[in-house]
Structure 1
Amino acid sequence: MHRIISPKIQPLINQYIKSPTTIAAIYTQYLRCETRTRNCDNPVNHRFHTRFQVAKPAAMLGGHCVSNAPKLDSSCGAGTVEEFAGLKTYFTGARDSTKAVLLCHDAFGYEVPNLRKLADRIAGHGYLVVVPDFFYGEPCDLSKPGFDVEVWFNTHHPRKGSEDAKKVVAALKAQGVTKIGAAGFCWGGLPVVVLASNPDWIQAGVIFHPVALTEDDMRAVKVPLAIYAPENDEFFPVDELHRLAKIVVEETPAECHHKIYPGTVHGWTTRFNEEDAVACQKAEEAHCDLLDWITKYVK
């Protein structure tokens, strides 16, 4: 094969591709091509589709996923941080409760202040709430010189996080918890869907604008699942929400609820500006829906 890109130009291209906005545009275009190709039975197109899947952007994170980075705070929240199931974990709520809620964070990890405040709020309803650090101290940090989103994502893929989530659930059950609900945000959506494939793991799940999900993941769902999304999200558009929900409704025994939140963008539930009254109201609506769904099935 002939080299079509000059070695002198490649570093500039690599830097451009690492832009979160560019990643979103590339992946959105991929989804469109993937959908068109999947709907064609021509064997030539099938071969192209297979090859295109291999070339799919590994990062699978849109611009909204890693934009509006919150200021992390390791000491925030009313709870405590302890080692649990091999992970540093934020605990809040009654430690002797038989009902627990597992929160799976987004790309910025478990030290996001609004995430911990949400955990504390859920704990106030009688739950033991746990927020593990699935990134082992390495959340997405675009401010680091030379930070590569794709390398980071592959190192901390939500598939791996799913295995860690299973360990957390097992540890909760070992200490007497009998019912568990789980909620995942962006990166954390996949671990929740994986857990939702087994009623012995969790009794209900909630996911917000998830990434890296496959149709097979959705077909495996066996417990009530709520799928919530913002109105404006290049990476997880409204039609993708409807497509995933349709799979659960039509191809699984699980109850499914899905909802679009008008006037919101990716990350509106945990990365909102607390000085913005409208943003707070939008986040509050989603938090109430999350809590209502969990309490309906984990009681």
Structure 2
Amino acid sequence: MAGPQCCANPPNLNPGVGVGLVQKLGGLNTYVTDSTHSKLAVLLVFDIFGYEALNLRKLADKIAVAGFYVAVPDFFYGDPYVVNPERPLQAWIKDHGTDKGFDDAKPVIQDLKSKGLSAIGAVRLFFSAKVVVQLAKCEFIQAAVMSHPSFVTPDDINWVEVPIAILGAEIDQFSPPSLVKQFEEILTAKSEVDGFVKIFPKVSHGWTVRYDVEAVKCADEAHQNMLDWSAKHVK
């Protein structure tokens, strides 16, 4: 169930910011930022506020600098969540189910492969965790990272087939530390799947892209964990 943490600290939206550009991938408008001649890709899946969020695009550019071709598709078709009493979050979520996101991600991945990108990882933030964990079950990608995931269950983790890192928050109503610990126990028992689980203290759900001044250090640390995991497994 969605709650106040979903909407806390909404981001600045400024589509003109970023060193990348918007182009079509898999039929979707996609913010693309890349390292020259890279054959390695990262699919960045965002939170409810959409693919134009300032910190999200900064993160995409940071991943590109580390040596990746980064794609941020607009899975919401120009309809990110906007606080509106006449259209509450639960109503918005019904229009943007994660099953649709999973289906939309597949042609994006196919398009990336057609461009000669030989390995693809996926990083997700909040709402679209279910999209990434579905991709990780079917080996559409080489590796996955989930930060402060929502709607992910222990059964989802049971079916993961690729290396996965899970970065949790100490203050999180969607994936509290007790649930993240269950994810860790499942991954520890799956010797065939490399797993990494970390819970960041004193931060709340959404902190990796919707952070305040106090959370910058933890956000930077989480971003480095994402980069290290991608460098290790997307190759």
TM-score, normalization by structure 2: 0.95
Q: Distance in 2 between matches of 1:151 and 1:65?
A: 14
Match of 2:4 among 43, 52, 63: 63
Q: 2:67 aligns with which of 126, 133, 136?
A: 126
Which stretches in structure 2 are left out of the alignment for 5+ residues? none
Between the two structures, name the one with larger relative contact order (CA 8 Å, sep ≥ 6). 2
**Any residues of structure 2 matched to 1:23-62 within 5 Å, and which?**
60-62=1-3
Instruction: Give 3-state SS (helix, strand or coil) of 2:60's partner.
Output: helix
Give me the identity figure in percent: 43
The answer to whether residue 105 in structure 2 is matched with residue 169 in structure 1 is no
2:132 is matched with which residue: 192, 197, 203? 192
Q: Which amino acid aligns with 2:92?
A: W
The 1:224/1:96 distance shift into structure 2, 3 A limit, reads same
Partner of 2:49: 108
In the alignment, structure 1 segments of 5+ residues that lack a partner are 1-59
From the CA coordinates, give the structure whose radius of gyration is larger.
Answer: 1
Asked if the contact 2:125–2:148 (Cα under 8 Å) also holds between the matched residues in 1, the reply is: yes
After superposition, the C-alpha distances for 1:81-121 in whole angstroms (9 at most, x for unaligned) are 11211111000013642100110001111111111111101
Structure 2 counterpart SS, 1:242: helix
Residue 241, structure 1, aligned to residue 180, structure 2: yes
Aligned to 1:152: 92
Segments ≥4 residues shifted beyond 6 Å: none
User: Does the CA contact (< 8 Å) of 2:42 and 2:71 recur in 1?
Assistant: yes
Q: Is the 8 A contact 1:219 1:252 kept in 2?
A: no
Aligned residues: 235
Matches of 2:85 and 2:199, distance apart in 1: 36
Partners of 1:263 and 1:215 lie apart in 2 by 24
Taking a change above 3 Å as real, the CA distance of residues 252 and 168 of structure 1, as seen in their structure-2 partners, is farther
Question: Secondary structure in 2 aligned to 1:196?
Answer: helix
Which of the pair is proportionally richer in strand?
2
